[in-house]
């Protein structure tokens, strides 16, 4: 089948490359000429493990193309995917749908024959109705169907998530559109992937409901971590004890500094705004948003406590800046709250992140960026682990201790065992665990 993918951001580029790898002919369209030129040189605009190789192989085999002008691709497409950004609208938290609607107008003027127009971007309930209205108003003669097909890709594991998903959700009442979407995803039949067909509005809400539930699960275990600290319990054992209940499950029960990234913060906020607009408030999600925001801001105080509440003139080494490992994504990362708070308390911050420093430098210009973890730690008064990159899981602790001015580690991801660090003479602070656990 022929596919046009509007947008070459995280969702559009990964989805386009994977559809091409399924055997479809895909053209990814973006108005950013520099981005398209770089993609022609196989330079990815994002860091995602394996994406450059996947793109290169499908370009070589003639199934994946990049363009700034999508006219030809859209005219000949069986399906046109809208995969543009939907950031939080400044001031009110609603999803900014201006890019989605602009794409719909462009598509309306170009489609020929029956075309399935697929919303891959995360959009509030009712967006598909508005896209249909826009296209119908511009092209009363057009033969098309608007479909919702939300993405459930984890940054750092997106290719595997696309090719081996838990499920595919498709929202449409059109039988012709259903057949087209079934054919697009037919390669997943080998793995017996569940394809859930729903109404369009239901599909749109499924995406928000899924992300809100996971965000709530993270926030829950973070609050349990605080309670564990108060009563002398171990949050990791609590998480294991409840996670073995298959009604709960073990995923997203890892205590830390709060969730961030491109999805959870904006999607929970958008869901709250949508629910309020429809007069059906979602109190649990409202609380989740508030608790998570407060948690990220409070993490710097943990560092301050480890240094006897005096950061003036101190140097803090921060390991990890991105919101999670295996990505360069800095959107709503806890570091964007923690690092400025450390600076405000009078500290100097030295930092290292394996992939995120280029992005971080634009957002955190007042810190010292280092070439590796040991350079960051050298002559620092404490080391803080903010992102659980694999290379931070087996640091040479003797070397770290020798490089530090004083042996203080604040591990906000619980990647080390308190007893092991204390045995080496560290003052070790983690999340929701008693000393010598």
pLDDT tens by residue, 195-249: 999 999 999 999 999 999 999 999 999 999 999 999 999 999 999 999 999 999 9
User: Range with the lowest mean pLDDT among 233-242, 256-265, 404-413?
Assistant: 256-265
- H helices within 232-344, ranges in order? 235-243, 264-277, 283-306, 335-344
d(CA 97, CA 78): 24
Any domain includes 229 = no
Helix (H), strand (E) at residue 219: helix 200-231
Any domain includes 211 = no
Say yes or no: 27 and 133 in one domain.
Answer: yes
Residue that is last in its domain, among 148, 180, 198: 198
Domain span including residue 325? 235-429
Say yes or no: 133 and 253 in one domain.
Answer: no
Say yes or no: 186 and 264 in one domain.
Answer: no
E-strand ranges in 275-421 read 315-319, 348-352, 368-369, 382-385, 408-411
Say yes or no: 156 and 73 in one domain.
Answer: yes
Residue 137's closest CA among 116, 97, 108?
Answer: 108
**What are the residues whose beta carbons fall under 8 Å from the beta carbon of 291, sequence distance 6 or more?**
219, 222, 223
Say yes or no: 263 and 129 in one domain.
Answer: no
Say yes or no: 145 and 29 in one domain.
Answer: yes
What is the number of structural domains in the chain? 2
Residue that is last in its domain, among 148, 169, 198: 198
| Position 355 pLDDT exceeds 70 | yes
Any domain includes 226 = no
Say yes or no: 300 and 380 in one domain.
Answer: yes
Any domain includes 360 = yes
Structure tokens at 224: 């349990």
Query: Are the CB atoms for 298 and 249 separated by under 8 Å?
Result: no
Say yes or no: 124 and 270 in one domain.
Answer: no
Any domain includes 265 = yes
User: Which residues carry out catalysis?
Assistant: 263
Mind listing the pLDDT tens digit for each residue in 294-339?
999 999 999 999 999 999 999 999 999 999 999 999 999 999 999 9
E-strand ranges in 46-143 read 64-67, 79-82, 115-119
Say yes or no: 373 and 271 in one domain.
Answer: yes
Any domain includes 224 = no
Say yes or no: 157 and 34 in one domain.
Answer: yes
pLDDT at residue number 91: 67
d(CA 99, CA 102): 5
Query: Are the CB atoms for 29 and 72 separated by under 8 Å?
Result: no
Query: Are the CB atoms for 118 and 82 separated by under 8 Å?
Result: yes
Mind listing the pLDDT tens digit for each residue in 239-260?
999 999 999 999 999 999 999 9
pLDDT at residue number 308: 94
Q: What is the CATH number of the domain that holds 282?
A: 3.40.50.720
Say yes or no: 141 and 16 in one domain.
Answer: yes
d(CA 320, CA 257): 12
pTM value is: 0.92
Any domain includes 62 = yes
Any domain includes 213 = no
Say yes or no: 45 and 100 in one domain.
Answer: yes
């Amino acid at each position: 089948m022929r596919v046009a993918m509007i947008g070459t951001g995280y969702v559009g580029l990964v989805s386009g490359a994977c559809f091409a790898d399924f055997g479809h002919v895909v053209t990814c369209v973006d108005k950013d000429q520099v981005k398209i030129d770089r993609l022609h040189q196989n330079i990815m605009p994002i860091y995602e493990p394996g994406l450059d190789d996947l793109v290169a192989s499908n370009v070589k085999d003639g199934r994946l193309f990049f363009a700034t002008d999508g006219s030809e691709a859209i005219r000949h497409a069986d399906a046109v995917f809208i995969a543009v950004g939907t950031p939080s609208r400044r001031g009110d938290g609603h999803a900014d749908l201006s890019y989605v609607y602009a794409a719909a107008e462009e598509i309306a003027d170009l489609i020929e024959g029956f075309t399935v127009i697929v919303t891959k971007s995360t959009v509030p309930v009712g967006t598909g109705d508005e896209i249909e209205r826009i296209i119908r108003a511009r092209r009363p003669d057009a033969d098309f169907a608007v479909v919702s097909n939300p993405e459930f890709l984890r940054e750092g594991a997106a290719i595997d998530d696309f090719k081996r998903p838990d499920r595919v959700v498709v929202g449409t009442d059109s039988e012709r559109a259903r057949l087209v979407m079934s054919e697009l995803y037919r390669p997943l039949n080998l793995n017996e992937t569940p394809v859930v067909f729903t109404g369009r509005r239901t599909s749109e809400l499924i995406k928000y409901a899924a992300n809100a539930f996971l965000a709530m699960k993270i926030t829950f275990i973070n609050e349990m971590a605080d309670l564990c600290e108060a009563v002398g319990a171990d949050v990791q054992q609590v998480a294991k004890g409840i996670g073995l209940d298959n009604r709960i499950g073990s995923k997203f029960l890892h205590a830390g500094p709060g969730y961030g990234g491109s999805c959870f913060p904006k999607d929970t906020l958008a869901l709250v705004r949508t629910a309020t607009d429809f007069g059906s408030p979602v109190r649990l999600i409202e609380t989740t948003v508030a608790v998570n925001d407060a948690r990220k801001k409070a993490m710097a105080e943990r560092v301050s406590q480890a240094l006897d509440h005096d950061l003036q003139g101190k140097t803090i080494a921060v390991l990890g800046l991105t919101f999670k490992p295996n990505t360069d994504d800095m959107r709503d990362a806890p570091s964007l709250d923690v690092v400025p708070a450390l600076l405000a308390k009078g500290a100097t911050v030295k930092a290292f992140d394996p992939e995120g420093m280029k992005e971080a430098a634009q957002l955190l210009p007042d810190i010292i960026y280092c070439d590796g973890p040991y350079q960051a730690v050298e002559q620092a008064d404490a080391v803080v682990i903010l992102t659980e990159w694999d290379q931070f899981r087996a640091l040479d602790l003797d070397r770290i201790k020798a490089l530090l001015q004083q042996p203080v580690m604040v591990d906000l991801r619980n990647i080390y065992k308190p007893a092991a660090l204390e045995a080496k003479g560290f003052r070790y602070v983690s999340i929701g665990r008693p000393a010598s656990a």
